[in-house]
Amino acid sequence: MELLKYIKKKILAIDYFLIFLICALSIFGIIVIGSITNINITGHSSEQQSQIIFFITGLILLLIFSLIDYKFILNGYWIIYALNLILLISVLFIGEGRGQVMRQIPLPLDLGTIQPSQFAKLFMLLFLSKFLDKYKEHINQFSMIIVTVILMAIPVLLIIIQPSLSAGLVVMLLSLTLIFLSGISYKLILTTLAGIVPILTLLILDIQQAPNHFFVNRILEPYQINRILTAFSPSDQTGDLFFQQYVARQALGSGQVVGQGLYGGIINQIGRLPEAHNDFIFAVIGEEFGFIGANLVIFTIFLLIIKCCYVAYKTPEPSGKFVAAGAGAILFFQTFIHIGVVTGELPNTGINLPFISHGGSSLWVLMIIMGIVINVGTDKPKKSIFEEED
């Protein structure tokens, strides 16, 4: 009986405007994926159909995680961290992909595949939210900082060696954001930056010495170095990576103010832009819906980020603040990197546009995260019914 009352209160307190924003982005993404895969010509799009399934199942996951007490979930933070490592290590042994890129692991009973690097965002968000809350009084101790950095670095390195540089970057930026929000001393931040900036400067200088690198070729693959070089000097670069960003900018600019209309983007319809349904979908949005449509998408994602920040500000629980703020950080970093790549301002590293790009693992992870954010927003400063009585 108490459980039914709890569920009823949660349902009544759900932020349905937030769910509306999520659905609007996801449905719009499904429509754009249909255009990219020429559903107007062939009458069939397996990518669009699969995205519809991902969306429906994702909404179910969102509802489930909006009802389960997030504090109950966070209590198993070490189990969550261990599961994260198990999945990431599994990629090294049973991973599937193209060429040397192995990012997916098969599910049993031929249920498809999942991408552990996407789930790492969720797992690290939950783990660090509880871990930093529990040990926040010691966050400025040197030993605590070392432990936290090691716990962050292990999954990031496992993601990068798949390789999945973009996912590893998002996990690292998320982790650093949560560490910053935990109340770490500004002196430590400045000291760290004083050490990192010279290292990054040397790294960039060595990258620009291509092909006679001193050390960067020992830590980065040739195609990763080429992606960074393309960002530094796009006019001097050739090859597939440069071609993608060049065509993406062409498509984005050709939409002008109002766009060429759904199914009307010439570059999109002739299939000239590789990976348009995920890594470069914003270029198609710009071509077919123009400056206005592209900015409406950005504004909608911005509203979601603001919602996350508001939940973080409002909730009394520190761990809840970390979860909501971290969710906003994930949305911001993914959007910033995706648009930066499409516009040629950042190196070409594939990353999904939140809720819009094609991909089951990415959409499910974001749905679960937003479900937990909704859960945090409906939480009251009372003892959870899942917690034991004293």
Distances (CA, A) of 242 to 79, 233, 236: 42, 10, 9
User: What is the rounded average pLDDT of the residues 177-182?
Assistant: 90
Q: What is the pLDDT of residues 268-292, one digit of tens each?
A: 888 888 888 888 999 999 999 999 9
DSSP string, 112-161: -EE-HHHHHHHHHHHHHHHHHHHTGGGTTSHHHHHHHHHHHHHHHHHHHT
Q: pLDDT tens across 55-78, in order?
A: 999 999 999 999 988 999 999 999
Structural domain for 162, as ranges: 2-378
- Cα distances (angstroms) measured from residue 350 to each of 76, 136, 185, 337: 32, 34, 34, 9
d(CA 167, CA 91): 14
Query: Does the residue 118 lie in any domain?
Result: yes
Is residue 147 one of the residues assigned to a domain? yes
Structure-block tokens of residue 378: 């409906």
Q: Which helix (H) or strand (E) holds 66?
A: helix 46-67
- Is 389 part of any domain? no
pLDDT digits (tens, 9 = 90+) for 225-243: 666 665 555 544 455 556 7
pLDDT band at 378 (very low <50, low <70, confident <90, very high): confident
In a domain, 390, yes or no: no
* Of the listed ranges 27-31, 149-153, 193-197, 332-336, the one predicted with least confidence: 193-197
Closest CA relative to residue 319, chosen from 133, 184, 176, 148? 133
pLDDT at 298: 96
Whether residue 388 lies inside any domain: the answer is: no
- Model pLDDT, residue 233: 54
Task: Evaluate whether residue 383 is within a structural domain.
Answer: no
Distance of alpha carbon 305 from alpha carbon 26, whole angstroms: 16
Cα separation, 115 vs 103, in Å, equals 6
Per the domain annotation, does 44 fall within a domain?
yes
pLDDT of residue 219: 65
The string of pLDDT tens digits covering residues 150-164 is: 999 999 999 988 778
How many residues are present in the chain?
390
pTM higher than the cut 0.85: yes
Rg (the chain; Cα; Å)? 22
Give a yes or no: residue 269 inside a domain: yes
